[in-house]
């Protein structure tokens, strides 16, 4: 979500029946085993096929795009207890917008220890190793507002919102950076110019295969969710379209795709003036999402900016539930 800067001041289960035919807190010890290690499979809480099971050899969301009809929408299962993300729990500055690589060895977030919101990272060597101290990602940060990072599953691409100059449109919009290897530094960021966004664009979220992106866009006074797709990671993004089944007359932003783009959690102010997390699902990426429902077990006080593992078992998001600065929390199911 946008941070408290002069032009953007936030005033801040039922099972879902899907239609037919892609934060911050929790119990840790370590931020959690990456997918496949925790002993919790998608089958344990998702109706139908395991999320990562390919159909006819096609990976990820391409099964749905190929016209497969045996996919089943997720049935929401509540998350367990919520707790602070320990490696950042004692850091006095605000932390927001968490995003992890698929192996959960790198967590990127935005923070403002010097009043300037920049991109930061905390890393660990393995799922059982200790997290190292957080550090600013100098090559992604600028003297201008930099926030809402979204790192790809493979850790080689990162999108984020920035108000830095260089974009064709004034204001805060989406930027992207790449690297060849996880051990490399990030390339100089460039603005996303494949499409014309809104007055402000932020909070990008990628499907696991990076062929679907949902982001928040401000048009006039209305914050809504928009989706864009592409045919390959080398192809340009197509024109964004509003996700009308998810949007409301209130603020809707901070999306997090999981289950290869067939499920989503996002923040909305439709309940009150603060952010609350909502979820929706669908059988395939070509279907509309179900009607959004509040994630009651997660909502306490201004909860937003979620990230979920692709199998949906792990959520990380930011919240003001503890009072004081925004902090990162996680939960599992």
Query: Which comes out higher in pLDDT, residue 215 or 36?
Result: 215
pLDDT at 168: 62
Instruction: Report pTM.
Output: 0.80
CA distance 133 to 130: 10
Structure tokens, 46: 């998702």
Q: What is the pLDDT of residue 3?
A: 58
| Average of per-residue pLDDT across 281-291 | 97
Question: What does the pLDDT read at residue 167?
Answer: 67
pLDDT at 90: 86
Task: Compute the average pLDDT of residues 89-112.
Answer: 96
Task: Give the model's pLDDT for residue 322.
Answer: 82
According to the model, what pLDDT value does residue 26 have?
28
> pLDDT (tens digit, 9 = 90+) per residue, 198-256?
999 999 999 999 999 999 999 999 999 999 999 999 999 999 999 999 999 999 999 99
Q: Is the pLDDT of residue 275 over 80?
A: yes
Give a three-class secondary structure readout of 89-128.
HCCCCCEEEEEECCCCCEEEEEECCCCCCEEEEEECCCCC
Domain boundaries, the chain: 42-332
The answer on pLDDT for 39 being more than 50 is no
Residue 136 and residue 117 in contact, taking contact as beta carbons nearer than 8 Å: no
Q: Report whether pLDDT(20) > 50.
A: no
CATH topology classification for 42-332: Neuraminidase (2.120.10)
| CB 257 within 8 Å of CB 214 | yes
Give residue 71's pLDDT band: very low, low, confident or very high (50, 70, 90).
confident
Give the HSE-up count for residue 25: Cα atoms under 13 Å, Cβ half-sphere: 25
How would residue 42 be classed by pLDDT, with cut points 50, 70 and 90?
A: very low
CA neighbor of 263 nearest in space, from 74, 88, 105:
74
Listed ranges 19-23, 85-89, 292-296; the one with the highest mean pLDDT: 292-296
**How many CB atoms lie under 10 A from the CB of residue 132?**
12
**3-class secondary-structure state, position 28:** coil
The pLDDT confidence band at residue 2, using thresholds 50, 70 and 90, is low
Helix (H/G/I), strand (E/B), else coil: 43: helix
- Please compute, for residue 159, the number of CA atoms within 13 A of its CA located in the half-sphere on the CB side: 21
Contact assessment for residue 76 and residue 293, using Cβ atoms and an 8 Å cutoff: yes
Q: Quick one: tokens of 57?
A: 């050899």
Q: How far apart are CA 167 and CA 172, in angstroms?
A: 9
308 strand-pairing partners: 315
Residue reference for tokens 């100089």: 188
pLDDT at 272: 87
Q: Is the dihedral of CA 113, 3, 197, 144 positive or negative?
A: negative
The Cα 218–Cα 172 span in angstroms is 10
Indicate the SS3 state at residue 44: helix
Task: Judge whether residue 47 has pLDDT over 50.
Answer: no
Question: Among 38-42, 110-114, 168-172, which stretch is predicted with the lowest mean pLDDT?
Answer: 38-42
pLDDT of residue 270: 96
| C-alpha closest to that of 99 among 172, 26, 154, 148 | 148
User: Mean per-residue pLDDT for 71-86?
Assistant: 95
How confident is the prediction for the chain on average, in pLDDT? Answer: 84
Residue 114: the pLDDT is 85
Which pLDDT belongs to residue 151? 98
Please classify residue 244 by burial: count the beta carbons closer than 10 Å to its beta carbon, then call 0-12 exposed, 13-18 middle and 19+ buried.
exposed
Q: From the CA atom positions of the chain, what is the Rg in Å?
A: 18
Whole-number pLDDT of residue 115: 84
How confident is the model over 100-108, as a mean pLDDT? Answer: 98
**pLDDT of amino acid 65:** 42
Instruction: Judge whether residue 97 has pLDDT over 70.
Output: yes
Lowest mean pLDDT among 65-69, 273-277, 328-332: 65-69
The H-assigned helical ranges of the chain are 62-65, 86-89
């Amino acid at each position: 979500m946008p941070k408290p800067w002069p032009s953007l001041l936030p005033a801040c289960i039922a099972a879902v029946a899907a239609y037919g035919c892609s934060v911050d807190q929790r119990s840790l010890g370590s931020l959690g085993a990456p997918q496949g290690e925790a002993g919790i499979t998608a089958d344990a809480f998702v109706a139908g096929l395991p999320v990562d099971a390919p159909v006819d050899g096609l990976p990820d969301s391409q099964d749905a795009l190929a016209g497969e009809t045996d996919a089943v929408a997720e049935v929401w299962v509540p998350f367990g207890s919520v707790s602070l993300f320990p490696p950042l729990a004692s850091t006095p500055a605000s932390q927001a917008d968490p995003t992890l690589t698929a192996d959960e060895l790198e967590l990127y977030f935005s923070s403002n220890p010097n009043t300037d919101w920049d991109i930061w990272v905390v890393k660990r060597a393995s799922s059982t190793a200790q997290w190292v101290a957080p550090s600013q990602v100098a090559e992604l940060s600028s003297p201008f507002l930099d926030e809402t990072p979204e790192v790809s599953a493979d850790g080689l691409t990162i999108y984020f919102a920035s108000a830095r100059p260089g974009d064709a449109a004034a204001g805060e919009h989406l930027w992207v950076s790449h690297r060849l290897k996880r051990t490399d530094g990030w390339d100089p960021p460039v603005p996303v110019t494949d499409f014309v966004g809104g007055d402000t664009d932020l909070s990008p979220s990628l499907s696991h295969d990076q062929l679907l992106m949902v982001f928040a866009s401000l048009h006039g006074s209305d914050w809504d969710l928009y989706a864009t797709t592409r045919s390959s990671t080398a192809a340009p993004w197509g024109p964004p379209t509003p996700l009308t089944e998810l949007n409301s007359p209130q603020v809707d932003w901070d999306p997090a795709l999981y289950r290869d783009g067939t499920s989503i959690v996002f923040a909305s102010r439709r309940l009150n003036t603060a952010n609350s997390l909502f979820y929706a699902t669908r059988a395939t990426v070509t279907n509309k999402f179900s009607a959004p429902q509040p994630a009651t077990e997660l909502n306490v006080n201004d909860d937003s900016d979620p990230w979920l593992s692709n199998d949906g078992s792990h959520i990380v998001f930011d919240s003001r539930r503890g009072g004081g600065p925004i902090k990162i929390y996680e939960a599992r199911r």
